[in-house]
Amino acid sequence: MAIQVDGQDAGDGPAAEQRDERDDAPAGDRANLIVTAVRLVLLPFVGVFTGLLIWYLVARFVIGDSRLLASPLEVVQHLQDNWGFYYRNTRTTAIRSGQGLVIGVGLAVSTSILVAVFTEIERLSLRVATTVFAIPTIALAPVVSIIFEDQKFVAFAAFAVYFVVFIALMVGLRSVDATVTDLIRALGGGRLRLLRKARIQAAVPSFFAGVRVAVPAAVINVVIIETLGAESGLGVGIIGAMSALDSTLAWGVGVMASAITLFGYGLNALLAKLIAPRFSAAADTA
Partner 1 sequence: MATPVEAHEEGTGPVAEPASQPAETSPRREEFKDLVRRLFTEVGLVLISFVILVALWLVVIRIYDLHPFYARRPPDVFDYLFTDPEAAANRTLIFERVPATLRDMLIGYVAGTLVGLSLALGFYVSRTAKALVMPWVLIFQTIPILVFIALIVIWFGRGLLSVALISGLITFFPTLIYATAGLSSASKESCDLLRVYGASEWTILLRVRLIYSLRYVTAAAKIAVPGSLGGALLAELLATGEGVGYFITSYNILPRAYDVLWSSVGVIVVLASAIYTAVTMIEFWINGRFKIDSSVE
Within 175-214, the residues that bind partner 1 by CB under 8 A are: none
CB of 183 to partner 1, least distance (A): 28
> Is residue 275 near partner 1 by the rule CB under 8 A?
no
The DSSP secondary-structure symbol of 230 reads -
Which of the stretches 76-84, 168-176, 194-202, 220-228 binds partner 1 when contact is defined by CB under 8 A? 220-228
Residues from 113 through 142 that contact partner 1 (CB under 8 A): 124, 127-128, 130-142
Q: What values do phi and psi take at 230, rounded to 5?
A: -155, 165
> Is residue 147 near partner 1 by the rule CB under 8 A?
yes
CB of 245 to partner 1, least distance (A): 5
CB of 193 to partner 1, least distance (A): 30
Residue 19 Rama label (left phi>0; alpha psi -120 to 50; beta): beta
List strand residue ranges (DSSP E) for the chain, in order.
Answer: none
Return the number of the residue (92 or 201) whose C-beta is nearest partner 1.
92
DSSP notation for 165-178? HHHHHHHHHTT--H
Here's the x/- map for partner 1, 242-261, by CB under 8 A: it reads as: x--xxx--xx-xxx-xx--x
Return the number of the residue (20 or 182) whose C-beta is nearest partner 1.
20
> Is residue 14 near partner 1 by the rule CB under 8 A?
yes
DSSP notation for 148-197? HGGGHHHHHHHHHHHHHHHHHHHHHHTT--HHHHHHHHHTT--HHHHIII
> Is residue 16 near partner 1 by the rule CB under 8 A?
yes
Q: Report the amino acid identity of residue 4.
A: Q
CB-based contacts of 52: which residues, under 8 Å, 6+ apart? 72
Residues from 46 through 65 that contact partner 1 (CB under 8 A): 46-48, 50-51
| Contact status, residue 195 vs residue 259, Cβ threshold 8 Å | no
